[in-house]
Amino acid sequence: MQSQILPSRAALVDRIAMQFEYGQSLICLVGNSGLGKSYLAESFITDKYSDFSKAFIQLSAHSKDVDVVRQLMEHTFRAPLVDQKLSLTENFFVLNSEQPAGPCLWVLDGARHLSDELITELQNLVVRAPNTLYVLVTAQAPNMLPNALDIHLEPLSLFESKQLMRMFFPELPSDDDPIFSTFVSEAHGNPSVLLDWQQDDQQLDLRANMPSKGKQKHFFIVAFSLILSLCLIAALYNKQLLDLLQTKRAVSEQTAVVVTEPTVFEAQQVLEAQSTQVESTPSFTSSHLSEDDTEEKNTEEVSAILGALLSEPLVTETEKSHNVETAKPTAPNGITSPQVISKPELSDMPIVETVSNESNALQEGLQLDQRPDSEPDREKLTREAAALSVNDNSWFLLRADTEWSIQLLAVTDQKVAVDFIQQHALDNVKVAQVIRSGRTWWFVTLAPFAQLDDAKAARSKLSRDLLAAKPFFKRISQIKQQIQQSQ
C-alpha cells in the first residue's frame, strides 16, 4: 500500500476488494474532481491482488481506442502481437488461445475519455472472460458505465482534513488560528485544495530587516556605470556609421568610364564590307599588289575576326545538341566563314526500330510468364473468384451505423460457414467477407437490429448449440469499417 492514506480511504479500498470477491467484475469509482480517485485507484492496485496480472492506464482527451487495447494486452500477456483491426474482445481471445493468461486486474483512470464501443467491449469481456477479470474505472459522474457498480467517494470531514494535512506538513498552525481554520473549512474536504496549503504565504513577518543604505548606494553606482557604458557604445557606433555613409557617398559620385566593345553584328558588317571590296577589285590590280600590302590587309582582317569572336555570346551544351553543326570552308580571300550543315534525320537511324522490337518481345515474354501453366491453375483461380463473390458486403455498406448484429461464427474456410448456415437454418443470416493479415475471413451474423436491446432479445431466443459458441453483439459500423479496410 502507498505510504500515506487515511483510514477511511483504506476502508474504501477494502470495500472495493470485497465487492470484487462477491462477484461484481466491473466497478466504477465516482467522485468530483480533486477528491483523490486516482490516488485511491493507485493504492488499490498496489495493495490488492499481488498475484494478478495488473494494468493501470490513465486516460486523457488524446487517448485512442487502439492505444488503450494495445496497453491492456501488453500488461496482460507476455510479448503479444496485437492486431489493430480486431476489437478488444477478439484480441483477448486470440492471445489467450496462444498463451493462456491468469487472473487480471485492470484500472482505467478517466471513464469520460472512453468511447461507447470500448465500454461495450469491457462489459462483454468481463462476462465472457475464461479467467478472472476485474475492471475498476474512475469517473466524475454516475451511470457512465451501464451494468457497473458505482461506489461514490465522499469529501473528507473536518477532522480527516486536518489529519491529511498533518501527514504532508510537519508544522501547522494551531486549530485556533483564524487563517488556518478558515482555509480548512473553505476547502470542503477536497484533498487537492488542502494539499495546496502554503505555510509562508499565510504568515506576515513584521520583523523583516529593511535594506540598508549602503546596499542602496552600491546599487545606484552599478546602475549609473551600466548606463554610462551604453551611452559610450552608442556614440562610438554612431561615429562609425557616419564614416561609412560618407565613404559610400564618395564612391557613388565617381564616374565610371564604359568602353563599348564591338558586337557580332558590327564584326559581320566589317567582314562583308571587306569581302565586297575584294570582289570589286580588278584582277590585274591584285597581281600588282606588293607583298607588304597583302600582309597589312591580312593583319587587319585577323583583327576584325578576333573582335567578332570575342564579342560572340557563349552557346550552351543544350543549344549545341539541338542546333546544327558548323563547318568552316575557306573563302577566296583566305577568311574562314561559318557554314551550316544539317544533321541526319531520325528516320535514317535504324536503332529506334530495333529498340522497339526488343521492348515488344520483352512484353510478350512477360505476358507469357504471367499466364497459368496448366489447366488446374485456371480451375483454382475460378474457384477462388467464386468464393470471394459470395458475401453480403454490399448489404452491410448500405445499412445505418447505429444498427447492431449478433456474430455467431468467424472462420477462414467458406465451406464451414456454408455448412453452419445450412445446419441451423436461420432466417436473417448475413455473411461478411473481410481480409485480415492476408487471410480471408467469413463472419456469420444475425442482422439487422435497430437497438442493442433488440439484439439481446434475439440472442436469448437462440438454441443451446448456438449459445454454446458464445455469440456476441457487434455494431454494423464496425463491420462496415472492416469491409472498407479489406477493399
Cβ partners under 8 Å of residue 70, min gap 6: 82, 84
Structural domain ending residue among the three candidates 118, 152, 186: 152
Q: What is the pLDDT of residue 477?
A: 92
**Angular region, 320: left φ>0, alpha ψ -120 to 50, beta rest:** alpha
Angstrom distance (rounded) from CA 449 to CA 445:
11
DSSP-derived pairing of the beta strands 104-109 and 133-139: parallel
Cβ partners under 8 Å of residue 139, min gap 6: 28, 29, 30, 110, 111, 112, 145
Does residue 430 lie within any of the structural domains?
A: yes
Does residue 440 lie within any of the structural domains?
A: yes
Closest-CA residue to 70 (of 88, 53, 94, 93): 88
Instruction: Give me the domain span that covers residue 172.
Output: 158-202
Cα 70 to Cα 57, 67, 87, 120: the distances in Å are 11, 5, 10, 17
Do both 52 and 188 map to the same domain?
no
Predicted confidence (pLDDT) per residue in 287-345, tens digit: 444 444 555 555 555 555 555 555 444 444 444 444 433 334 434 444 444 343 333 34
Whether omega for the bond prior to residue 448 falls within 30 degrees of 0, making it cis, is: yes
Q: What is the pLDDT of residue 354?
A: 37
Cβ 291 vs Cβ 244: under 8 Å:
no
Angstrom distance (rounded) from CA 58 to CA 110:
7
Do both 146 and 167 map to the same domain?
no
Cα 18 to Cα 26, 156, 255, 270, 428: the distances in Å are 13, 22, 102, 115, 44
Q: What is the pLDDT of residue 169?
A: 81
Q: C-alpha grid cell for residue 67?
A: 492505444
Q: What is the pLDDT of residue 134?
A: 93
Structural domain ending residue among the three candidates 166, 182, 202: 202
Does residue 165 lie within any of the structural domains?
A: yes
Q: What is the pLDDT of residue 253?
A: 75
Structural domain ending residue among the three candidates 152, 179, 194: 152
Q: What is the pLDDT of residue 339?
A: 40
Cβ 133 vs Cβ 125: under 8 Å:
yes
CATH number at residue 73: 3.40.50.300
Q: What is the pLDDT of residue 3?
A: 57
Do both 113 and 137 map to the same domain?
yes
Cβ 396 vs Cβ 479: under 8 Å:
yes
**Side chain identity at 337, as an amino acid letter?**
S
Q: What is the pLDDT of residue 275?
A: 54
Q: What is the pLDDT of residue 332?
A: 40
Do both 168 and 127 map to the same domain?
no
Do both 454 and 433 map to the same domain?
yes
Report the largest interatomic distance among the alpha carbons of the chain, rounded to a whole angstrom.
141
Do both 52 and 186 map to the same domain?
no
Q: What is the pLDDT of residue 227?
A: 95
The pTM score is: 0.41
Q: What is the pLDDT of residue 302?
A: 53
Do both 135 and 39 map to the same domain?
yes
Q: C-alpha grid cell for residue 294?
A: 597583302
Chunked into runs of 10 residues, the chain (487 residues) has average pLDDT values of: 74 90 91 86 89 90 90 88 88 89 90 90 90 91 87 87 82 82 85 77 53 76 92 91 87 58 50 54 40 53 54 43 40 40 39 40 42 47 45 90 92 90 87 89 92 91 87 91 86
Does residue 32 lie within any of the structural domains?
A: yes
Do both 43 and 118 map to the same domain?
yes
Do both 116 and 183 map to the same domain?
no
Cα 11 to Cα 43, 44, 153, 272: the distances in Å are 11, 11, 12, 116
Q: What is the pLDDT of residue 386?
A: 42
CATH number at residue 419: 3.30.70.1070
Number of domains in the chain: 3
Over pLDDT 90: what percentage of the chain? 20
Q: What is the pLDDT of residue 328?
A: 40
Q: What is the pLDDT of residue 324?
A: 35
Does residue 267 lie within any of the structural domains?
A: no
Do both 415 and 456 map to the same domain?
yes
Does residue 433 lie within any of the structural domains?
A: yes
Do both 78 and 103 map to the same domain?
yes
Do both 109 and 178 map to the same domain?
no
Three-state secondary structure of the chain: CCCCCCHHHHHHHHHHHHHHHCCCCEEEEECCCCCCHHHHHHHHHHHCCCCCEEEEEECCCCCCHHHHHHHHHHHHCCCCCCCCCCCHHHHHHHHHHHCCCCCEEEEEECHHHCCHHHHHHHHHHHHHCCCCEEEEEEECCCCCCCCCEEEECCCCCHHHHHHHHHHHCCCCCCCCCHHHHHHHHHHCCCHHHHCCCCCHHHCCCCCCCCCCHHHHHHHHHHHHHHHHHHHHHHHHHHHHHHHHHHHHHHHHHCCCCCCCCCCHHHHHHHHHHHHHHHHHCCHHHHHHCCHHHHHHHHHHHHHHHHHHHHCCCCCCHHHHHHCCEEECCECCCCCECCEEECCCCHHHCCHHHHHHHHHHHHHHHHHHHHCCCCHHHHHHHHHHHHHHCCCCHHHHHHCCCCCEEEEEEEECCHHHHHHHHHHHCCCCEEEEEEEECCEEEEEEEEEEECCHHHHHHHHHCCCHHHHHCCCEEEEHHHHHHHHHHHC
Q: What is the pLDDT of residue 321?
A: 42
